[in-house]
């Protein structure tokens, strides 16, 4: 099924994206998870010029609302050279989907924080189709306060190509709908996921995000403590953020 870019009218998503620091995969994976929201890499791409080409193409996709198919076609030579065609074409889909969704979610986070006083509750929303991961579907509809530690771990995306999102709710909406508000961080909560195809219950398991997605990209993207960042990430970030303030 073709992957289409969600509409991105948000300046916040693009504002966040252009400050990301490009680095090699080895540099990226050496970072603490909390710092990775500010970095960009593509596993398997070693050449700086090719990495920059992919980064700029995603920047353009954010600006223009480019579809996945058009974006993929614009870099067809890169994918051919990497051997990421045929059965390995999923890697190209993964690059596009994960990066676009992370930018969208980070921009959305900033918008939701701005209205947190009037809409103090956030609700997890999964797509709930046959491609939705059972553990992500188990989170659908859950509501926690906007400042809950739950969002430090489960703010989407919660895995590669995750399509989940978050909605804001007012106190009145929560009361009128009789919504139960969760507390705590949710980690380890025992859930019984449902198979999205058969509808059958699957074996119970503890609730956990996918490996490498245990942090809040929005919070890490907009509220970073740069003093704790390693120099190879902190210095270019400081330059990009300073340039953003001047523009």
CA distance 113 to 99: 21
100 & 165 share domain:
no
- Find residue 205's DSSP bridge partners: 191
Q: How many domains does the chain have?
A: 2
Is 195 domain-assigned? yes
In the chain (247 residues long), the average pLDDT of successive 10-residue segments reads: 46 89 93 90 94 96 91 96 93 94 92 95 92 89 96 93 94 96 87 83 86 88 82 90 75
Q: Which phi and psi angles does 43 have, rounded to 5°? A: -60, 130
Is there a single domain that holds both residue 96 and residue 57? yes
Give the pLDDT of residue 149.
95
Does a structural domain hold residue 4? no
Judgement on whether residues 31 and 53 belong to the same structural domain of the protein: yes
Closest-CA residue to 190 (of 138, 122, 123) = 138
* 166 and 180 co-located in one domain: yes
pTM here?
A: 0.85
For position 6, what pLDDT does the model report?
45
In 3D, which of 185, 171, 175, 183 has the Cα closest to residue 118?
A: 171
Residue 206 pairs in a beta bridge with 190
pLDDT at 247: 66
Verify that 82 and 128 share a domain, yes or no.
no
In which region does residue 101 sit, left (phi positive, over 0), alpha (psi from -120 to 50) or beta (all else)? Answer: alpha
Are 145 and 203 part of one and the same domain? Answer: yes
The residue range of the domain holding 227 is 11-109+220-246
Q: DSSP letters of 88-111?
A: GTHHHHHHHHHHHHHHHHHHHHHH
45: in domain: yes
């Amino acid at each position: 099924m073709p992957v289409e870019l969600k509409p991105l009218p948000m300046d916040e998503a693009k504002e966040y994206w252009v400050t990301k620091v490009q680095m090699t995969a080895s540099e990226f994976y050496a970072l603490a998870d909390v710092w990775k929201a500010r970095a960009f890499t593509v596993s398997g791409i070693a050449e700086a010029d090719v990495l920059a080409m992919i980064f700029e193409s995603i920047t353009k996709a954010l600006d223009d609302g480019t579809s996945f198919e058009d974006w993929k076609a614009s870099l067809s030579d890169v994918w051919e050279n990497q051997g990421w065609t045929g059965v390995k074409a999923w890697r190209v889909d993964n690059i596009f989907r994960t990066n676009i969704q992370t930018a969208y979610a980070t921009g959305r986070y900033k918008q939701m924080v701005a209205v947190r006083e009037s809409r103090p509750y956030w609700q997890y929303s999964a797509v709930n189709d046959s491609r939705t991961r059972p553990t992500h579907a188990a989170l659908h509809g859950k509501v926690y306060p906007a400042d809950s530690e739950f969002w430090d771990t489960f703010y989407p995306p919660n895995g590669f190509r995750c399509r989940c999102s978050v909605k804001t709710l007012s106190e009145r909406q929560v009361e009128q709908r009789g919504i139960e508000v969760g507390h705590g961080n949710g980690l380890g909560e025992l859930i019984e996921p449902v198979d999205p195809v058969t509808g059958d219950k699957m074996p119970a398991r503890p609730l956990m995000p996918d490996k490498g997605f245990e942090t809040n990209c929005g919070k890490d993207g907009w509220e970073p403590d740069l003093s704790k960042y390693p120099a190879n990430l902190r210095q270019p970030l400081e330059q990009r953020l300073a340039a953003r303030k001047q523009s």
